[in-house]
Each structure stands twice: as structure tokens, then as C-alpha cells.
Amino acid sequence: MSIIAGFVVPHPPVIIPEIGHGDENAIEETIKGYDTIAKAIAEIKPDTIIISSPHAEAYSDYFQISDGEVGIGSFAQFRAPQVSFRAFYDKELVAKISDLANRAHFPAGSEGTQKHDLDHAEDDPGQYDRPPFGLS
């Protein structure tokens, strides 16, 4: 297991047509950026995609790594509850990272509060008539 690539993207909810109602056209360059990254990810064919969200649980003294089987989210807070998404967790990778962190005395793992609801920064823009961003 190794990190092959990394990408950072903005995540405006308006990018989702059911939320933007046409206003997503105003962020066409952002959408093009997602498309470019989606193509790069498709070429890489990663086994796992790690998503780090600025809205995820955070602690001042511990780096939380979600575990479990699956995380599920929706855009209900943006008046689009019909738009939902899910991500399957790579339990083997979570265990490996947690073990490496423990051995290095780095405060990280899945021992914190587990909230398996995904937030809007962890969605899969590939679901919205674009190339696959999350290759689930």
C-alpha cells in the first residue's frame, strides 16, 4: 500500500443539480476541475480513495479515522434529501494506518466517537452525470 496521488477540491453544494437548480453553471470551472481529477483517478485505478473532510469529527489531540462497513450521507441539510451517497470503508487500510500510527506513538486511529454519517464534503460528484470520482 502506498499513496499514489493526492487531490484537493472545493466542495460547494451548488455543484449538485438538485441543489444548484441551474446555478451550478456559475461554477463551470470547478466542475471542469472535478472532471479532470475524475479522469486522473480513473487512469490511476486506485484500490482505495482516502477522503479527508474539513467537516469530519476532529480532536485537538487525536486524528480520527473512520471505520466500520459503510458511511452514508445525503444533502438533506441543503433541501435535497433525495440525493444520497455512500462510501465503503477499507477496513484493512484503516487497521494498517492505525497500527502504524500506534507504533510511531502518533495519536491516530478509530477509537474516537464513530459517526458514520458522511458530510457533503465526502460525497461522490461522479454520481451526478460526471465521470466516476469515487470508484466504488
pLDDT at residue 34 is higher than 80: yes
d(CA 37, CA 6): 10
| pLDDT tens digits, 62-109 | 988 888 888 888 888 888 888 888 888 889 999 999 999 999 999 999
What's the whole-model pTM score? 0.74
CA dihedral 7, 72, 88, 125 (to 10 degrees): -40
Query: Structural domain tally of the chain?
Result: 1
Domain membership of residue 135 (yes or no) is no
Domain membership of residue 101 (yes or no) is yes
pLDDT at residue 114 is higher than 80: no
Domain membership of residue 78 (yes or no) is yes
Domain that holds residue 54: 13-127
How much is the pLDDT for 112? 72
Domain membership of residue 7 (yes or no) is no
Domain membership of residue 136 (yes or no) is no
